Structure 1
Amino acid sequence: MPVPAPAPVLTCAIIDDEEINRLTLEHYISLTDSLQLVVSLDDALQGLNYFRAGNKVDVLFLDIQMPQLNGLDLLRVLSDPPIVILTTAHEDFAVDAFDLRVTDYLVKPFDYARFSRAVQRALQQHTAPVAAAPPAAPAGPPDHDLFVKVNNKMVRINFDDVLYIEALSDYVIIVTDRQKYIVYTTMKALDARLPFDHFVRVHRSYILNMRRIEAIEDGAAVVPGGQHVPIGKSYQEAFFRKLNRI
């Protein structure tokens, strides 16, 4: 019987000017077998010098509001940033954060369970194979497009391209093959207004495009890019009734 490959261990750094927040993150990291803390810094300028000196980590836990240089500006000047999980007391920066392609956005105070979900995303991103960009999807009929309000403008989204929708606090993230859209609405309101039968609520925090499922394993649906969308126990019966299977 083949021996399973060991789980990857990601090296990580913390940059946060508040000591209590650094100590909390250091404690959470110490509880997580898949993480190894390399450095914990209290200033973004120190972080800039650390990375410009050629140091590298797999994951960066980064505060936003810091004196002299904030976390978002640090990301803008780094030429090759690691996987980034933002940690902040403010929700106002979510749109800017996802424009910078961060992996997750943790609003303080967050518990270990929420921290673990962010780490799982980082692990998936770290282990996902690098692939060529998928070919452009053919334009869908007009009724597959919806306009959604993103950062004070209306954006047309072809929902054939959507993989899943995730609720985070008082906004949702619409995830496609190429981009994430931050929409300020509740999951309940969006679920009630989506006109597509193939979008199904599979979890308290997730709506899934059934047409983009590649596999189902370990209580989750696998979508392109190797991303796993959890299927909540209370949603499983309805989900499997709707699923076309042999």
Structure 2
Amino acid sequence: MSNFVVCDDNCKFGEYLKTMILQNDPSAGIVVYPSIKEMTTALEKSSSPVDIFFMDIMFENEVENGIETAKSLHLLYPNSEIIFISEFASFISDVYLAPHCFFIKKSDIEAYLPKAIEKAFESIERRKIVLKSSNGQIAVTVEDIIYIERVQRESTVYLTNGHYCTRSSLEELVQILPPSKFVRCHCSFIVNIPRISRYYRTSCVLENGVVIPISRKYCDAFKSKMLKYWGKLI
């Protein structure tokens, strides 16, 4: 499931944007905040990942504007993307003072929202993730991951050019991987969907010939993601 945060002091527009996002992604998790203060307070207490932030720029009775807040969000959520939304096109240059992937004028939200979300996820998928190992932290390009296997208390991330071991659990790893490209198929395995060459009821074969089991618990979710991904390629 993809997770979105909307921060806009126009509550009516915030709820409208939530509806628009759900039309684009019916399974999305979306939280709407009417102020920067409420959002930052809630995020400090939350451990849930966020894929995309939709940030308004001008807020009444706030110390910071949306651009300054976006700089802080980028430090706290380096694997997330930020999309700026505003009534005023005059901010189109100012937004480059903070990391972001798209700017949408509110009056154009219907026309540009699908493209903005698509671009955000493309950017996320190209990114690197940081793995914690006994030798410190290692940055790994997401596209290079073939599969991940959990054995006892250690996860091994198999890449196109080697492998790394990390103490991070599969539950933790699946949260930071792009949901459209990675799927858990077994209590001990996560696979990179584009690296799958074929699959059967109880197993899948990766491009390097490795056979990965598919358990009954994860079978339906695995099949659903495979059909969705392969359907885009046809």
Compute the TM-score of the two structures, normalised by the length of structure 1.
0.46
TM-score by length of 2: 0.48
- Say which structure is richer in helix: 2
